[in-house]
Each structure stands twice: as structure tokens, then as C-alpha cells.
Amino acid sequence: MIGKLNHVAIAVPDLEAGTVVYRDTLGAKVSEPLPLPEHGVTTVFVALPNTKIELLHPLGEDSPIAKFLEKNPSGGIHHVCYEVEDIEAAAAKMKESGARALGDIKIGAHNKPVLFLHPKDFCGTLVELEQA
């Protein structure tokens, strides 16, 4: 069912510092910051030859990333995102298999439907599914 790895998301306490590490130290191409108020984050995407890194920074007091950074003040891997051909079919399969979705299907940073899955059902890893 899952396709390719779309991105690995890393929560960062300082978005500009994270951008500098990937752009200036590692020489990667990075996007401009993109605020996503409906998700409570600002993102920067780092383009790699075979996937992307998504740097996540809290946007607003209710940001899930703010809560993550309280527990992990230096930042760290927040989630992995896999592509699926049909997000509705994937959501139905997850429900059928007993996996727990965290909320409903929403539009993500790439303007495509996404669904987050509970880390307790996926080896301790928060999983995002994104329609390809």
C-alpha cells in the first residue's frame, strides 16, 4: 500500500538556524519558510536527490511542535511521511486494521490530502500518509 518515502520531518527550536545547517553547512537547496496555521507549524523543505527533509517550527501556542519541543528541547525527528495512491482507501484500510488515525484527512504542506497515524500503532513512529 505505501509508496515511496516523501519526507522525514524534524522539529527544530530555531527555524533559521536549522535552515543554515542544511543550506550553508550541508549545501542543500532549501525552500522559503511556509506558515501553515491550520497545522500550527511553519515548514522549510530541504530538497535531496531521493526525498525531502521537512524542518518544522511551532506556529502559535497550540502547536503540536511546541509540545514536542518541550519534551525534546534540542529538536529531533518528529515523523516520517509515506506516499499512498489513494488516501481515502488508505484511511479505510487503517481503520479496518485497527490502526488509529490522529484526526481526519486534511490538506498538507504540498496541497495534497494527508492523514497522521498514531505512533503506538507504528513501532513508536508518528506516520503521515500523503496522497501521491
* Alpha-helix runs per DSSP H in the chain: 15-20, 64-71, 87-97
pTM of the model: 0.93
pLDDT band, very low/low/confident/very high, at 61 (cuts 50, 70, 90): confident
Q: How far is the first Cα of the chain from the last one, in angstroms, to the nearest whole number? A: 12
Nearest Cα neighbor of 117 from 89, 80, 63, 71 is 80
Please compute the mean of the pLDDT values over residues 91-115 and round it to a whole number: 95
pLDDT band, very low/low/confident/very high, at 94 (cuts 50, 70, 90): very high
Q: What is the mean pLDDT of the chain?
A: 96
Please compute the mean of the pLDDT values over residues 69-87 and round it to a whole number: 97
Domain that holds residue 76: 2-131
Which of the following is catalytic: 54, 88, 96, 128?
128
Burial of 50 (0-12, 13-18, 19+ CB in 10 A): exposed
The answer to whether 125 and 2 are in contact (CB under 8 A) is no
Specify whether 128 is catalytic: yes
Total tally of structural domains belonging to the chain: 1
DSSP label at 22?
A: I
pLDDT band, very low/low/confident/very high, at 6 (cuts 50, 70, 90): very high
pLDDT value at position 71? Answer: 96
Please compute the mean of the pLDDT values over residues 16-22 and round it to a whole number: 98
Instruction: Please report, for the domain that includes residue 115, its CATH number.
Output: 3.10.180.10
Residue scoring higher pLDDT (76 or 60): 76
Is the model's pLDDT at 25 over the cut of 90? yes
Is the model's pLDDT at 62 over the cut of 90? no
C-alpha cell at 69: 519541543
